[in-house]
Each structure stands twice: as C-alpha cells, then as structure tokens.
Amino acid sequence: MLLGTFSGVFVPSFEAILGAVLFLILPMLTGTMGLWKMLIIVIFSNTVTLATAFSIADCATNIERVGAGGMYAMSRRSLGRAFGGSIGIQLFLAQTACIGFYAIGFAEPLQELLLRISFVHNFMGSFDPLIQKQIIATFIVFIALILGIIGADFIVKIQMVIFIILIVSVGSIFLSPLLGLTHDQAPLFSGSVNLSGSALGMGFWAALAAFFPAVTGIDAGVGMSGDLKNPKTSLPKGTFLAIGVTSLVYIGITVIYSLIRPELLIFTRGGTIPTAASIFAQSAVIPILIIIGILVATGSSALSYFMTAPRTAQALARDRIIPKPLYFLSRDWLKRGIEPRWATLLTFIIILPVIWSGDVTQASIVVGICFLVVYGWINLAAFLERVSGNPSFRPTSRGHWTISLYGFLMCIIAISFFNMWVGIGILVSQLLIFSLLLKYKSHRKLEGVWWGVLFSGLNWGFKRMRAIVQGSKNWRPVVGTFCFADQKEVSRRTIEMGERIANYQGLIMYNILKPQKQPEILFRPPEGAQIIEIPGDQYDSGILSILQAAVPGGFKINTALFPLDSRINFFEVTAKLINMGKNVLLYKHGAASLPESNRIDVWWKGEENGNLMALLAYIINKTDIKEGKTPKSIRIIRKISGVVEEEASKVEMENILRRARLSGEVLILPEDDKSIHESIKEHSRDALLIIMGMPGERKGGIAALFSLDEYFFTKELDKFIELPPVLFVKASRMMNLMED
C-alpha cells in the first residue's frame, strides 16, 4: 500500500523531530540560556531545515519519479552517480547508527521502571548500568526488526498510535501552566519570564550544538519517498508541514520552560541534568504522560529510521552503487515481495555493534555531523541546479538559489559547532568513497549538474573576456591540430605534440581529416575530436574553412599544427593562414631521438620567428614537468653571417633571454659554407626536439611582411627526414617576449 503526505512524510518527520531533546535537554538549555537566546537558537536551527526543505522541494518537483532512497535519490540525480552514491552510503550508515542511539535513549527511562519488576531485576540487576541499557536497547531493536520484516504498512499503523500518544504528552506540558502545579511545596511556575538564564558552564554555541540535532529529523519522512503515492507533492508538503508544526511546538515549550522557577532548570550538585520528567515529578498525571512521551518519542524515531535505512540500502543496491556481493539487498526474500527485508536484516546487524560500543556520546556526534553533511549536499545540489541554468531544471517549487546557499553554508557552520575536526574527517572519508565510485562505478566520468555548472561559469567568463584586450602578456596557445585518419603513427605523434603545446596553459582542438574513401579511422581518436570527411582532394579548403569557423565562447584558433603530408599544399595554406593572423606549425616526427637525449634545440634566425620558438620550447618543457616527466634543457642556437661578431651576438641573445625571463643555453655558430640543413644535422642530431623557423625572405619590419620560400616546401623538407623530431614554425606576427 502506497502512503500519502500525512502518514508517509509528516508523521515520521514529526515523531523524529519531537524526540529526546524536547523532554530531556530543552529544559536545561532554557534555564541556562534564558528565553531570548533559546528562541534565537530554536528559530535559527529551524531556518536551516527550512532551507533544506526548499532544496528538497526543488529537487523533488523537478523529477518525474523520485523513487526509493529519499535524499540519496535526489542527490544522485543532481550530483551524479559517484557523488550521489557517496552521499547515499554515508546516509545509510548514519540512519542505521541513529537507530542504535535512539534505542539507547529509549532504554534510559525504561531501565529504572523495568528493574522494579522482580524477574527482570533477578536477570540483569547485577550487571553494570550501561550493560543493562544495552540489553534493553538490543531487545528494542529486535522488536523493531520483527516489525520491519512484517512490513511498512504495519509500522505506519503503529506510528499513528505513537503520534496520538506524543500529542497528548506534549499537550500536557502546554496545559501545565493552567493547573497550579507545585514543586517542593512551592509553585512550579515563578510568575515571571526567565529572559537571561543562568549562563552556568555553557556558551551560546555549545547550546546551539546541543539543540541542533532536534531539528534534523526530516530525513525520516523524506526517506520514505519510494513508498509514496505522489512523492513530488508529498515530499515538499509533508516536510514543510512537519517543520512548521514542530517549530511552533519547540517555541511554545521553550516559553513554558522559561516560566518555571529558574533554580529547577540548572544542573544539580551531582551533575544531574533536569528533565521534563524530574521537573513535573511531583504533579499527579503529567510525569507519567511525559515518561510515556519520552519512550514513544525515542521509540518512534528508532522505528522511523528502521523503515528509512533499509530503503536507502535497497536503492543503493538497485543502482549498483555498492559492491556486487551486496546486490541481493535490492530484493525481498519473499517471492513476490517488495519490502527491503534483506536490507532490514543488514541494518539490524550493523546496529548491534553501535549499541554495544560503550559510551555512544562521541559516536552520536559523528552521526549528527553525517546528517548535516547530507543536508548540506542537498542544499548545494539545489543551489547548483539553480545557478547552472540547465533547461532541464524546471521545478514547480518557488525556491531561490540564495535559500539553498544559506542552507549549505549554515550546515557547514553547524558542523564546526559540533566538532570541526570530526567534520573534516567525515568529508575526507566521503571524498574517498566518491573517488572509488568514480573509478569503479562511473568510469571516471562525472554526471549530473556539474557540466551545466561549468558551462555557465565558462560562459560567464567568456562574455567578460570579450571586453579585455589580449596582449602578449596574456597570450595562450589555442591550437587547432590536424591529422589524417589513415595515418596511425604520424597522427598519434602529431596529437601528442599538440597536447605538449596546449596542455600547460592553452587549449587544443583535434581535427581528424578522413578521406572520403577511407572506411575507418586507424587509431583511437582523442576525446572531443572532430571527424571531418573530406570530399575528393579538397584538404586545403577544408582546413581553411575549419580554421575560420566561429568557436563557442569567443575563442579563436591562433595556432595551426599539421603533420608533414603531401596531400596538403603547405605553401598556399601557410601563406593564407599567416594573412589570417594564425601561427603555423609543421611537425615532422622523423627518426627517433637518442635514448639519453633530453634537450630541445631552438635554431634562432631572428625575432620574427625566434620569439615564438623560444616561447614554445618553454611551454613544451613546462607541460612535460607538469606531467611528471624529466625537465628538458633548452639550447638557443644562432648561426651568424657576415660581419656579426660571435661574442657580441652571444651577449645579445643572452640579454634577450634574460629580459624575457626564459632559461636556456646560448650557442653561437660562426659563418661557414655549410647549409642550414647540414649545420642542424651536425649540432642537433642528438636533440630530443628541434624547433626551427620556416625559410623565407623578410620584406618588412613585421613578420606579416614575409615571403615564404616555396622551394623549401616542395624540395627541402625531405632533407629533414633523418633528423630527430622537428617543429617548423612560422609566426603570424612578432611575439613580444618582454613585458612593457
């Protein structure tokens, strides 16, 4: 039977929120802090859960079918399989451990009552008081296990009875000021309001940390998402209603506690905390109703999470988030059953170590922080969905990104109130789970809202970049890399060189030219590569069209990289690209470098090409260092001619490098009868990479006025085949290496 808003969401949340804090801790906090500070704490705490409720409404009303898992299901759909899965695993463990704490809380007032029964006293009267509570708590969770196996329908009926008892118990406190009650033969109520409190031994933030767990029970209702008739409506409506009603209850009860004589609300000399039961102990009926209220409040909270936790585990198993041996948790052990009975049994097994761990105080802080972390991520998910601008995000709720951001920030602040170091530890453990899920369950691919968030952020940045002048100071290589689908090794080497140029601080765009008759690509294309089918032999026009095409975000390709291939008319393509303001690089991977080679040789002929070549050598070296490779040494080689003095030329080159803050050794070669090809072969045959300019005749003061040497492209390139890899460079303009 599917549940409605009232029985499926409101009642479990109501009972989980009005738990032990209302009866056991709130009297002491009110007496210590006074009415004003306590009201601030109550209202502030509820604003955090209210913001979370808005985020839940955003996520729930944007999904056609929420499914089982509650907050896990919503976070997985927004934040992706890996991140949402890490939240779900953490949520399940917190929900399960929470049952153990509520069971211990249930055993606290029941312990004294049961020991009055003779056979119970004979059985466990000789045990340590802590062990007595643990025995009672174990019995309680065993009863809860049986109820969980029977099914949710039966538990819901029990919760409705508990709901009525809890209302009567809380109602008795509301009516108490009208009954003329006494304590130690004096009026229980002082006739005035305790505004300032005693402030004995507790600060404001400590009081906030003590109270805050009271308002975190909304997960008990949200976790029933898979059993609701209409989760899109019931989840937000039931959660808002539970927060609204319980907020009024806490405010009203705080006011009543502030009317009680202040000395009854402070620590006794023995360190005993005043509770509602001890305060009203001398009245006729109210203490019985309060004790029953404490029992049903803690018992119902445990029962609520005994329904919620197995459903979270079931959802994790169905989504294949948890390890494969645990996939059976998605099934019922009954042939046609739909209840998470296997998951219920696992929940019971995990609870037992929590109960028998000894002092659960520190562990309860860990669980409380786990819930806050989950609530924080739900708020962050809704915030990211809002700011991402994804067209698919169309919730019917009327939330706002500021509300979700407030909820996220307040959850982080609340964690620091509890224990900042425990919070950091929990976040680190979650990131570890996330990294494992990303690797083994998501193939290292993020899903969900992240793409939209990055796209929106980049788009925002792109629009503002258009208003900023890009000078030499801000130059980045935006490399359009071209290779052929039918050339496996050449294409692989060309792509590798493009990445070495672009991966440090630039961008790369892969373009794979596929001949029309080529049936398949002979290598695995890089992710994001464009496969361009070229009709006939129109490679030149295809390349020029691609390089002139608009690029999203306002980026323009400023550098084109080609492998040496006879199908491209490099003379014409290079000339046209230079006129378009684009640098041209031709890469010949050629003969393999010597194993011991670790040097990049830059053959300098002038600043028109030389400045860009020196910068490329620097960038390639930085990329290699970034990727963990051995740093390369850079050697600037200049062959002088005419009357240029060798020493003066060396000083000039060293000054250029020093002013440009580029490192490198300078080698000056005297004039001789050898061709440039022969000189390169003599001095750079042991280099890892050779960078040289494209030959041509200078016609003016800027590099654009440059006549390319057609003979070089048609006849001379073959002479470099036997050399190590060579990168031929033609700059579209003279790069300024010195910052003005």
Q: What is the chain's percent helix, strand, coil content, to nearest 5?
A: 60, 10, 30
- Judged by DSSP in three states, 236 sits in helix
pLDDT of residue 703: 44
What is the DSSP secondary structure assignment for residue 480, as one 8-state letter? Answer: E
Burial 687-719 (b: 16+ CB within 10 A, else e): bbbbbbbbbbeeeeeebeebebeeebbeeebee
SS (H, E, C) 266-315: CCCCCCCCCCHHHHCCCCCCHHHHHHHHHHHHHHHHHHHHHHHHHHHHHH
Listed in order, strand segments (DSSP E) in 555-698 are 559-563, 583-588, 599-604, 633-639, 665-669, 689-693, 696-698
Please report, as a single letter, which amino acid is at residue 367: V
Of 39-48, 366-375, 524-533, the one with minimum mean pLDDT is 366-375
pLDDT at 393 over 60: yes
d(CA 183, CA 274): 13
Q: Would you say residue 319 has pLDDT above 80?
A: yes
Do 480 and 557 contact (CB within 8 A), yes or no?
yes
Average pLDDT, the chain: 80
Sorted by sequence, the CB contacts under 8 Å of residue 480 that are 6+ apart come out as 509, 511, 546, 547, 557, 559, 560, 561
In this structure, the number of other CB atoms found within 10 A of the CB of residue 429 comes to 15
Judge contact between 302 and 103, C-beta under 8 A. yes
Q: Once rounded to an integer, what is the mean pLDDT over residues 69-90?
A: 83
80 three-state secondary structure: coil
Q: In whole angstroms, what is the distance from residue 99 CA to residue 128 CA?
A: 22
Distance (Å, rounded) from C-alpha 215 to C-alpha 618?
58
What mean pLDDT comes out for the span 565-587? Answer: 85
Range of weakest confidence among 17-31, 387-401, 507-521, 700-714: 700-714
Give pLDDT, residue 702: 44
CB 534 within 8 A of CB 516: yes
- Asked whether the CA dihedral 344, 350, 353, 355 is positive or negative, the reply is negative
Inform me whether the pLDDT recorded for 643 exceeds 70.
no
- Among 25-29, 134-138, 201-205, 710-714, name the one with the lowest average pLDDT: 710-714
Task: Give per-residue pLDDT as tens, 439-461.
Answer: 888 777 877 778 788 878 877 77
DSSP assignment of 119-183: HHHHHHTTS-HHHHHHHHHHHHHHHHHHHHHH-HHHHHHHHHHHHHHHHHHHHHHHHGGGTT-EE
pTM over 0.75: no
Among 478, 486, 453, residue whose Cα is nearest residue 382: 453
How much is the pLDDT for 389? Answer: 74
d(CA 371, CA 570): 63
Q: For residue range 111-121, list pLDDT tens digits in order.
A: 777 777 777 77
Burial of 134 by CB count in 10 Å (0-12 exposed, 13-18 middle, 19+ buried)?
buried
Q: Can you list the domains of the chain with their CATH numbers?
A: 5-67+96-357 (1.20.1740.10), 470-589 (3.40.50.850), 590-727 (3.40.50)
Distance CA 608, CA 570 (A): 20
Instruction: Extract the tokens encoding 649.
Output: 């030329």
Structure-token match 């009357």, residue found: 643
Residues of the chain with pLDDT > 70, as a percent, come to 89
Rounded (10°) angle between helices 35-60 and 26-33: 130
Binned at pLDDT 50, 70 and 90, residue 163 comes out as confident
Q: How far apart are CA 164 and CA 11, in angstroms?
A: 10
- The average pLDDT across 697-711 equals 50
